[in-house]
Amino acid sequence: MKQVNVSANANIALIKYWGKRDENLMLPTKSSLSLTLTALKTTTTIALNKEQHDCIEFDGHSDEQLQSPVRSFLETTRALFGINSHFSIISKNYFPTASGLASSASGFAALALGINSLCNLQLSMQEVSILARRGSGSAARSIYGGAVIWHRGDANDGSDSFAEPVLPASWWPDLRVLIAITTTAAKKVSSRAGMQQSVATSPRYQDWLIRSNNRLPAMITALRSRNIITVGSLSQADWCDMRDVMLSTTPSLNYWNEGSLNAIMGVKMLREQHGIACYVTTDAGPHVKVICLAVDAPVIMQKLQTLLGVSSVLESTIAGDPEVEIVE
């Protein structure tokens, strides 16, 4: 029986997405830009299930809470493409899930690519990105490696809100993203719920949209010229604004823990007191990602590993495109 094996990587946004203009179609309030990361890999095997239900397994478990968004994604996909079959899905994440390490990005990207091949839908990459977006916004970007932009789009039906590659993974081999893992516990407020609250209640939201939109072209220019100081500073500025939006949301969103704060302060110290080009960003979780160059990675890793609340540190380069293997 035909089976498709997909390997896709999660991404980290340098210019963030935090909020939707359409909850159902998962259309963002603004465009965003990310790097796909080698250290955050998901592999998914998908086949047709002869029985009239979907069989989903994550990391060897059948956890209902993790399965529920996948089930609704499969329903949406069946309805969109007139598919009558059910699926058997086995997915493995090589990093902690549901704690702000974007497992949904790699997971839904892998699923969208897998269903496209398994059901012979012959979708273009734009259409695969649009499909992945219905699972999780950031998944729209994970169908590519390298640096990737996800366009906000203007159309009400979401047909122009898809991701496109900006630069290939090979563009900047010296770029590193270090990931300080501060806990493996699942996050309390999902990104979906959190961003909805921010759009509705944060007084800083509109201001962030304007500032973040202005940063996007500057970020692309800085990536093209491999300017670590500008890439890091712009990314950190966008993260600071998103963090302010989160904190000024009602109820206030605080995704950080002691380890996160120690890592943020540790990186600031290395930058300001030792002149090392290292910059922080976080997402809807407590892990801290540090943007830097390969030459500085060992000393930054060493520092992060000594900090209270940091359990381990992953070192990532920029990942290439997902891989899809069809086994007949």
CB atoms within 10 A of CB 130: 25
Which of 6, 149 has the CB closer to ligand PMV? Answer: 149
Binds ligand PMV (CB under 6 A): choice among 13, 163, 216, 231:
13
The closest alpha carbon to 242, from 194, 306, 287, belongs to 194
Site string for ligand PMV, 16-35 (x = CB under 6 A): xxx-------------x---
Encoded one letter per residue, x for contact with ligand PMV by CB under 6 A and - for no contact, window 40-79 reads ----------------------------------------
Count residues binding ligand PMV (CB under 6 A).
Answer: 14
Query: What minimum distance in Å lies between the beta carbon of 301 and ligand PMV?
Result: 23
Identity of the residue, 119 or 162, whose beta carbon is nearer to ligand PMV in the bound complex: 162
Q: Which of 309, 271, 311, 274 is nearest to 290 (CA)?
A: 271
Q: Which stretch, 13-21, 68-76, 84-92, 271-279, contacts ligand PMV (CB under 6 A)?
A: 13-21
Closer CB to ligand PMV, 18 or 144, in the complex? 18
CA dihedral 110, 216, 191, 129 (to 10 degrees): -30
The verdict on 191 binding ligand PMV (CB under 6 A) reads: yes
Is position 104 an interface residue for ligand PMV (rule: CB under 6 A)?
yes
How many angstroms separate the CA atoms of 158 and 156, rounded?
6
Under 8 Å between Cβ of 73 and 94: no
For ligand PMV, which residue of 86, 152, 192, 204 counts as binding (CB under 6 A)?
192
Question: Looking only at residues 126 through 145 of this chain, which bind ligand PMV when binding is defined by CB under 6 A?
Answer: 136-138
As measured in angstroms, the least distance from the Cβ of 242 to ligand PMV is 7
Give the orientation angle of helix 228-247 with respect to helix 205-224, to 10 degrees: 160
Contact 239, 32 (CB under 8 A): no
Q: Is 152 in the site for ligand PMV (CB under 6 A)?
A: no
Kindly state the DSSP code that residue 100 receives in the 8-state scheme: S
Contact set for ligand PMV, span 246-285 (CB under 6 A): 283-284
210 Cβ neighbours under 8 A, 6+ residues apart = none
Q: Is 322 a residue that touches ligand PMV (CB under 6 A)?
A: no
Write out the H or E segment, with its range, that includes residue 35: strand 32-49
Kindly indicate which of the ranges 12-20, 79-87, 167-175, 224-232 contains the residues binding ligand PMV, using the contact rule CB under 6 A. Answer: 12-20
Spatial distance between the Cα atoms of 273 and 193, rounded to a whole number of angstroms: 38
The answer to whether the beta carbons of residues 42 and 167 sit under 8 Å apart is no
By CB under 6 A, name the binding residues for ligand PMV: 13, 16-18, 32, 102, 104, 136-138, 191-192, 283-284
